């Protein structure tokens, strides 16, 4: 088939990891875990203002987790590249190629060695999923539905059973969230790649009035209530974050399903795109922190070669989410959130938990008419960053169908609060066979922290292989 006919904008989202991690510093990691430099990336880099982390924004305003890369250095009208780099990516015997729903489905839920498991055709994971997946994003995307329909039609995917756009305006900060092209790239990504892995789940786009902390935290509550309204449970994904700040743990309960319902709802958040260091809400102990990998392929056959740490992936040791021996409303790590205790004891929260392809050089296709500025559909580009990881992993966890949340109910009138999803993920680390079968252990590359066997500050437990243990 001919790929991507019609209007087409070829962008990849890439973090200039060596430059950005160096500029911002390597934060919140043990000195023994810090390496000299993140793995260098290639190309011309553009980071929009909406994705930039500023120290003065901590606790006041969040940012998104994507950046743009152009192979030839040419940006769309109105966008200017602020940084350039020309570095070799990965071994010379491999290449990084833009990934499709079919190739990512083969890699993460089927088998990397499957016939045809290369990013050249249409199709994707078979219909599966349940309940609803809510994506929390700032501002309005006027073409969200059209983007999803175009994406599905192009790749031969079924439409979701229902799709809703919900304005999180009940706090009075706006009547209707303002249209925003840069935020629309994010929301198009989120709804499309959550849907790829869980085609049978209802997709809900929750649009906050702005990236201000009050608006995003309010939108998080709206997202939970919307998933609850479906009556089954599901997932809430957050591809945004920011530097940690004092008092952040007072918001932790807003990301825990037990704060709203006993329905099984799992929450995920991107670990960030600024290299080694913890961010919020990724460091919240009640959610699954999503790190980033690079997918390397054979330069001739394009068969899967391996995954490595993506140099831009966030991950580190929280300065705020400490261990507590006393329940104080679930605002810290403790016996109720002890999934990391076998590794770190009573240390603070460590991120990420699991990971997914986030390197823009092996980025994923999306359609975003308003975001990329096309006059009509289709309007395709490719995107990376841990903004890919959170919604995609939300779809995979949903597809696995274990229906876990943050409240374990015994069925005899009692229960307890716990992060069931992370309990399941981390329980496989010490196993002899389950871990190697269910997760890919990534031990190459660097985001500025050490990467090695089993758990690390770039990829957490690893990346998914199949649906067991998710």
Distance CA 216, CA 136 (A): 8
What's the confidence (pLDDT) of residue 8? Answer: 32
Report the DSSP beta bridge partners of residue 92. Answer: none
The answer to whether domain 17-464 has CATH 3.10.450.40 is no
How do beta strands 132-138 and 202-208 pair? parallel
**Least confident segment among 43-57, 93-107, 145-159, 317-331:** 43-57
User: What pLDDT does 394 receive?
Assistant: 98
Task: Please report which confidence band the pLDDT of residue 160 belongs to, taking 50, 70 and 90 as the band edges.
Answer: very high
Mean pLDDT of 445-457: 91
367-420 pLDDT, tens digit per residue, is 999 999 998 999 998 889 999 999 999 999 999 999 999 998 877 767 899 999
- Using CB atoms within 10 A of its CB, is residue 113 exposed (0-12), middle (13-18) or buried (19+)? exposed
The answer to whether the beta carbons of residues 196 and 126 sit under 8 Å apart is no
State yes or no: pLDDT of 258 exceeds 70. yes
For the segment 16-68, what is each residue's pLDDT rounded down to a tens digit?
A: 332 223 223 334 554 445 443 555 555 556 677 888 888 888 999 999 998 76
> What pLDDT, on the 0 to 100 scale, is given for residue 233?
97
Predicted pLDDT at 192: 98
Contacts of residue 232, Cβ cutoff 8 Å, sequence gap at least 6: 130, 131, 132, 263
Closest by CA to 38, choosing from 249, 292, 275, 204, is 275
Taken in order 141, 142, 148, 153, the sign of the CA dihedral is negative
Residue 5 predicted with pLDDT over 70: no
Q: What per-residue confidence (pLDDT) applies to 69?
A: 62
Given this model, what pLDDT does residue 337 score?
97
For the chain, what are the domain ranges?
17-464
pTM equals 0.89
User: Which pLDDT does position 116 carry in this prediction?
Assistant: 60
Segment among 109-118, 133-142, 255-264 with least mean pLDDT: 109-118
The H or E element that residue 205 is part of is strand 202-208
Position 94 confidence tier, pLDDT thresholds 50, 70, 90: low
Distances (CA, A) of 244 to 138, 329, 336: 19, 20, 22
C-alpha 396: how far from its chain's center? 12
DSSP 8-state secondary structure symbol assigned to residue 465: -
282-324 pLDDT, tens digit per residue, is 999 999 999 999 998 887 788 888 899 998 899 999 999 999 9
What does the pLDDT look like over 225-244, one tens digit per residue? 999 999 999 999 999 999 99
What percent of the chain lies above the pLDDT cut of 70? 83
The pLDDT value recorded for residue 23 is 29
DSSP state of 110: S
> What pLDDT was estimated at residue 265?
98
The two beta strands, 202-208 and 163-168, are: parallel
Cα–Cα distance, 85 to 82 (Å, whole number): 11
Tell me if residue 164 falls in helix, strand or coil: strand
Q: Name which of 289, 281, 257 is nearest 409 in CA terms.
A: 257
| Pairwise CA distance, residues 171 & 293, whole Å | 37
pLDDT tens, residue by residue, 322-375 = 999 999 899 999 999 999 999 999 999 999 999 999 988 888 999 999 999 998
Report the pLDDT value the prediction gives residue 95, as an integer from 0 to 100. 63
What are the tokens at 103? 């190739």
Where are the strands (E) in 271-397, listed by range? 279-280, 288-298, 304-309, 354-357, 364-367, 380-383
Model confidence at 85: pLDDT above 80: no
pLDDT tens digits along 164-202: 999 999 999 999 999 999 999 999 999 999 999 999 999
CA atoms of 284 and 206, how far apart (whole Å): 20
């Amino acid at each position: 088939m001919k790929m991507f006919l019609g209007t087409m904008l070829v962008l990849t989202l890439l973090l200039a990891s060596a430059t950005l991690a160096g500029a911002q510093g390597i934060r919140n990691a043990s000195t023994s875990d810090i390496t000299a430099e993140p793995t260098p990336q290639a190309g011309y880099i553009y980071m929009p203002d909406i994705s930039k982390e500023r120290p003065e924004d901590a606790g006041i305003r969040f940012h998104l987790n994507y950046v743009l890369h152009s192979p030839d250095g040419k940006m769309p009208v109105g966008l200017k590249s602020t940084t350039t780099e020309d570095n070799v990516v990965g071994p010379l015997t491999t290449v990084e190629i833009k990934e499709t729903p079919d190739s990512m489905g083969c890699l993460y839920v089927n088998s990397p060695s499957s016939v045809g498991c290369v990013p050249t055709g249409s199709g994707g994971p078979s219909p599966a999923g349940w309940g609803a997946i809510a994506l929390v994003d700032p501002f309005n995307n006027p073409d969200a539905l059209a983007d999803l329909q175009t994406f599905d039609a192009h790749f031969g995917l079924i439409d979701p059973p229902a799709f809703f756009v919900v304005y999180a305006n009940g706090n009075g900060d706006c009547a209707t969230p303002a249209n925003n092209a840069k935020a629309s790239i994010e929301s198009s990504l989120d709804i499309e790649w959550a849907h790829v892995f869980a085609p049978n789940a209802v997709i809900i786009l929750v649009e906050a009035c702005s990236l201000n902390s009050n608006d995003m935290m309010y939108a998080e509550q709206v997202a939970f209530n919307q998933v609850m309204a479906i009556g089954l449970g599901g997932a809430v994904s957050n591809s945004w974050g920011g530097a940690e700040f004092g008092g952040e743990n007072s918001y932790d309960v807003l990301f825990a399903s037990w704060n709203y319902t006993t329905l099984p709802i799992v929450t995920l958040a991107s670990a960030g795109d600024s290299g080694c260091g913890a961010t919020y809400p990724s460091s919240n102990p009640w959610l699954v922190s999503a790190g980033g990998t690079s997918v390397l392929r054979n330069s001739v056959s394009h068969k899967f070669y391996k995954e490595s740490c993506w140099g831009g992936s966030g991950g580190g040791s929280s300065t705020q989410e400490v261990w507590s021996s006393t329940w104080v409303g679930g605002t810290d790590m403790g016996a109720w959130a002890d999934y990391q205790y076998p590794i770190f004891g009573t240390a603070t929260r460590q991120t990420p938990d699991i990971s997914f392809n986030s390197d823009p050089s092996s980025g994923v296709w999306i359609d975003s008419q308003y975001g990329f500025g096309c006059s009509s559909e289709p309007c395709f580009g490719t995107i990376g960053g841990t903004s890919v990881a959170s919604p995609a992993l939300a779809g995979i966890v949903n597809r696995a169908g274990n229906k876990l949340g943050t409240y374990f109910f015994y069925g005899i009138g009692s229960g307890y609060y716990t992060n069931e999803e992370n309990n399941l993920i981390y329980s496989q680390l010490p196993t002899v066979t389950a871990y190697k079968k269910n997760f890919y252990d990534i031990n190459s590359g660097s985001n500025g922290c050490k990467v090695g066997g089993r758990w690390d500050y770039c990829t957490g437990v690893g990346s998914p292989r199949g649906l067991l243990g998710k």
